[in-house]
Amino acid sequence: MAGDWEKEGDAWWQQKIEQGLPFVVREGNICTVTFYWRDPAGTERTSSIRHVWIYITGVTDHHQQRAPQSLQRIAGTDIWQWQVRLNASWRGSYCLIPSSEVQDFTAAALQNPPDRQALREGWRKLLPQAIADPHNVNSSWRGGRGHAASALHLPLAPLQNGWDTQETVDFDAPRCVQWNSQRLGNQRRVWIFTTGEGQPEQRPLAILLDGKFWAEQQPVWPALQRETNNGHLPPAVYLLIDAISTENRGQELTCNPDFWLAVQEELLPLLTSQVAWRNEAATTVVAGQSFGGLSSLYAGLHWPERFGCVLSQSGSFWWPNRQQADKAGWLIQQITDGLGDGSRLRIWLEAGLREPLILQANQRLYPLLQKAGLTTRYRLFDGGHDALCWRGGLIDGLTELWQPVRR
């Protein structure tokens, strides 16, 4: 191809775009996926680009025991490509990172298997330079770490109710109010969203942690309203709580009683002054991902009279033992010692097949919840530590946990 590139390159590239990028070929339950990037600076004779790193959540990210991966230039052209085989049920986000540096990662990160800390540090430095795939027609957004991301849904990936449509929907704009917490000594934004006014005092409540992400980076409002209009979700009140910062998140969402006491003593009375809702534990859901998933279950187990339903996605139940995978996390040990026995708590628990540490912790947790007699639905998804997967599970979890409300 390289010899005829100057003459035929544009036509070849246009054909690839028309086929759809990334290019997916399915053979039964496996897909071969080819990623492409076209270098705006031209071929290797004119361009300074030395690598086009590809960061695929659950495949090439820092959670995996594989060296960082880069697209390879097709010699004599401005085209870079990289190929991987994935289950046809896989879903995930990815980004591209063109780099002119000869060495972006240390030798420790490039060895096989790589040093985990060196790998994390290398990606941490590179991700601010990430770009979304310019030729992917699916949605792009800013990921949880603030970097650009694109979506890839393989053919057998499960439906995501409320998200799998471009149909517009009318909804009342959420209210953003300031929460000044005396107990926590800080202030933050919270968002209040309602999906119906017919019987306001009968509306259940969902508390969503990492509220800024669901309010601004992956706005959840249209999906919630669509599923309410479809009758899958009841009219409800949603309270989204900002984490303020990564550092603050690591303090408040790691089994911190002060955070949840502040929610009960300060934030819920503030909510009551703003909207009417059904103030019952049985219809109150606490939902979170990663540290938020850990914190949600912690809240439900310690205050079941206030938070009767838990929606935990990719919960970090290894905490605080990241470096000791064989050691049970703190909350898991509390449950082993009897926390939650006899509770009427209802739990939706899910984890990704491609997030090793978190999957291991959730696999350890689930039988303990069953042994404690807690009503628990456990679901695995074919993906990594990824909001693109969580957004579907968020809707599905709310739908199941609120089934009694809709009857």
| Same domain for 246 and 125 | no
Residue 147 has a pLDDT of 85
Same domain, 197 and 227: yes
CATH code of the domain in which 193 resides: 3.40.50.1820
- The overall average pLDDT reported for the chain is 94
Q: How confident is the model at residue 6 (pLDDT cuts 50, 70, 90)?
A: low
Report whether pLDDT(141) > 80.
no
Nearest alpha-carbon partner for 350 in 363, 341, 334: 363
User: Which tens digits make up the pLDDT trace of 252-285?
Assistant: 999 999 999 999 999 999 999 999 999 999 999 9
Our count of domains for the chain comes to 2
What percent of the chain stands above pLDDT 90? 84
Give residue 198's pLDDT.
83
257 and 376 fall within a common domain? yes
Last residue of a domain, one of 96, 119, 153: 153
Same domain assignment for residues 135 and 276: no
Spell out the residues 6+ positions from residue 60 whose beta carbon is closer than 8 angstroms to its own: 54, 66, 68, 69
Q: What is the CA radius of gyration of the chain?
A: 23
Identify whether 127 is part of a domain: yes
Per-residue pLDDT tens over the stretch 329-352:
999 999 999 999 989 999 999 999
In a domain, 390, yes or no: yes
**pLDDT for res 3:** 52
Q: At what angle do helices 221-229 and 387-401 cross, to 10 degrees?
A: 40
Beta strands in 88-139 (DSSP E): 91-99
- The domain in which residue 113 lies consists of 2-153
Strands (E), 196-341: 205-208, 237-241, 284-289, 309-313
CB 282 within 8 A of CB 309: yes
